[in-house]
Homo-oligomer: A and B are copies of this chain.
Amino acid sequence: MKEKLTLMIPGPTPVPQTVLQALGRHPIGHRSGEFQEIVLRTTEQLKWLHQTNSDVLTITGSGTAAMEAGIINTLSRGDRVLCGDNGKFGERWVKVAKAYGLDVKVIKANWGDPLDPEEFRKALQEDQNNNIRAVILTHSETSTGVINDLETISRYVQTNGTAITIADCVTSLGATNVPMDQWGLDVVASGSQKGYMMPPGLSFVAMSERAWEAQKRSDLPKFYLDLKSYQKTVQKNSNPFTPAVNLYFALEAALNKMQEEGLDAIFSRHDRHKKAAQAGMKAIGLPLYAAEGFGSPAITSVAPDIIDAEELRKVVKEKFDILLAGGQDHLKGKVFRIGHLGFVSDRDVLTAVAAIESTLQLLGINKNKTGEGLSAATAALQ
């Protein structure tokens, strides 16, 4: 049904009406006092969200731009880095690092499995001369729905050598606890169309003092993504280049809503939805793709063995107006992903489980299981 489509993909995520209304305001001058107040307020709110006293900088661009900025502002040509790779985004950071001539050592895990923190510990301990300048990894791997143990890996980085931790928190920030200062994260990158409950177009880079120390040595060329210019201007509540003014309106409205709800409530909501989606799928008889215990609070990946994932997605969309995400690359047709990230309520998750269950019934598959997914999800939501 036209205009009824609900997004349950890992981004863009659903956007509250108040945020859309803010977005649709007439733009104002980006050098005006009124806009400076918005920059001031949102910067403070972003620090709250990141649980940090460090700078949080706003870039007009995608999450990839933010992550690239984190890498190219803290490193120099030839620097050795450890890069975690257990999915499409891990792969991407390896590509970015190589594009800038970094010396990349990849720590891999199979898609669906988490990165093993022990491998990071070993590699760091073996690095007697402290040649490793950074450890780059993805917290919530959007392509597989796996959450990596960023806390432990960051602790190993801090206790072994002098590297900084550069973390892609694009689908974890605003969905689960990412206490930047407490965990000792040096660069945290995120994007607006995720936990922020707003449309895509803005991304965010938080930089610790250690990251700024590394920045002073960095020699990789950059201009639009030169974070020094963002740091200088944010101190004057401004931006180095014309920002997406209307997306800033939306950002403020969205962060207001997040502060009203509170971090603990946001995190427990996402945790509840993760459990409900997982329980629902298991009860229907659809295997989860992520290794047990490592499901992301933002995305539940499902690897159905009784139906083509794309066929299921198609019917769920056409019959029930719910957009699920497909599998990426070699997972296409093998995996579908339920996004439960951002502006998602218990009803949305229940509905997704119910629609998937009903679709299997309509297609004549899994006849005996109808209702079990709903029941299990309901129990998990309590």
**Chain A residues near B (Cβ < 8 Å):** 5, 7, 9, 11-12, 14-15, 20-21, 23-30, 32, 60-65, 68, 72, 95-96, 99-101, 191, 193, 199-201, 220-226, 241-247, 323, 325
Contacts and interface: CB of A to CB of B under 8 A. Distances in A.
A245 B29 contact: no
B199 A27 contact: yes
A221 B99 contact: yes
A19 B339 CA distance: 29
Contacts of A241: 61-65
A59 to B, nearest CB: 8
A200 B12 contact: no
A69 to B, nearest CB: 8
A27 B11 CA distance: 10
Nearest to A246: B199
A41 to B, nearest CB: 18
15 contacts: A7-B29, A9-B29, A12-B28, A20-B25, A21-B24, A32-B323, A60-B61, A60-B244, A64-B223, A96-B223, A199-B244, A220-B221, A244-B247, A246-B247, A247-B247
B242 A200 contact: yes
Contacts of A23: 23-24, 246
Contacts of A200: 27, 30, 60, 242-246
A223 B95 contact: yes
B225 A224 contact: yes
Contacts of A27: 7, 12, 15, 193, 199-200
A242 B12 contact: yes
A9 B28 CA distance: 10
Nearest to A201: B244
Contact of A24 (B20, B30, B99, B220): B20
Contacts of A101: 221
Contacts of A99: 221-223, 226
Closest 8 A/B residue pairs (Cβ): A24-B24, A201-B244, A12-B27, A62-B241, A199-B246, A65-B224, A100-B221, A27-B199
Given A20-B25, A99-B222, A199-B245, 7 more contacts: A23-B246, A61-B224, A61-B241, A72-B221, A199-B244, A200-B244, A220-B221
Nearest to A328: B31
Nearest to A102: B221
Most buried by B among A65, A68, A199: A199
Contacts of A11: 242
Contacts of A21: 24
A193 B288 CA distance: 45
A157 to B, nearest CB: 23
Contacts of A65: 60-61, 224, 241
A344 to B, nearest CB: 14
Nearest to A19: B24
